[in-house]
Amino acid sequence: MNEPENPRFHPLPVHEEPEAVRLRTWVQLVRTFYRIERSISATLAEKDLTMAQFDVLATLRYSEGLSQKELAELLLVTKGNVVGLLDRLEKLDLVERRPDPDDGRSNRVHLTSPGRQKIEMVLPVHDRLVLKTLDCLGQEEVGTLRRLLQTLDQSH
């Protein structure tokens, strides 16, 4: 029997128990996510944005004037990070907080003109990278993957 060239390589068993398949699938999902995230983060860094900053700008592009609480619920970061994230984006003149006309205790978050320009410049670059990443899958496979991920998401 031929041994693999890489001594750390261990071929998968021919038959795996259902629990083992689920665990290995989880590991593959996490590895895949982190590889894709590193690629996107590197591309965004070239545009002087972090993934979290991009997320805020992209969210506000589609939902201008959200409250900080509403924004926190939509972002891919923890709610505790939102205040600091908005502070940094304000210092960069990419977003601004405006008093909520209906609730003086809260603010609404808006893109500034430079913030709008930044997201309009970066979004197509981001979208091309995401599309290129998913290009290895057929349209039906993408639909299946999306449905499976939605099912997984809704189960928690």
Q: Where are the domains of the chain?
A: 48-138
The DSSP bridge partners found for residue 103 are 100
Q: What is the pLDDT of residue 17?
A: 87
- Map tokens 């003086």 to a residue: 104
How confident is residue 16, by pLDDT bands cut at 50, 70 and 90?
confident
| CATH class held by domain 48-138 | mainly alpha
Q: Which pTM does this prediction carry?
A: 0.82
Q: What is the pLDDT of residue 1?
A: 47
Which segment of 7-11, 14-18, 94-98, 107-111 scores lowest on mean pLDDT? Answer: 7-11
Q: How much is the mean pLDDT over the chain?
A: 90
How confident is residue 5, by pLDDT bands cut at 50, 70 and 90?
low
Backbone angles phi, psi at 100, to 5 degrees: -75, 120
12 or 46, which is more confident: 46
Element (H, E) at 108: strand 103-111
Q: What is the pLDDT of residue 12?
A: 62
pLDDT, mean of residues 3-15: 65
For residue range 91-133, what is the model confidence (pLDDT) as tens digits? 999 999 999 888 878 889 999 999 999 999 999 999 999 999 9
For residues 139 and 134, give the distance between their C-alpha atoms in angstroms, rounded to a whole number: 9
Q: Please determine, for residue 36, whether its predicted confidence score (pLDDT) is greater than 90.
A: yes
Q: What is the pLDDT of residue 99?
A: 92
- Any idea what the Cα angle at residue 43 is, between residues 118 and 48, rounded to 5°? 45
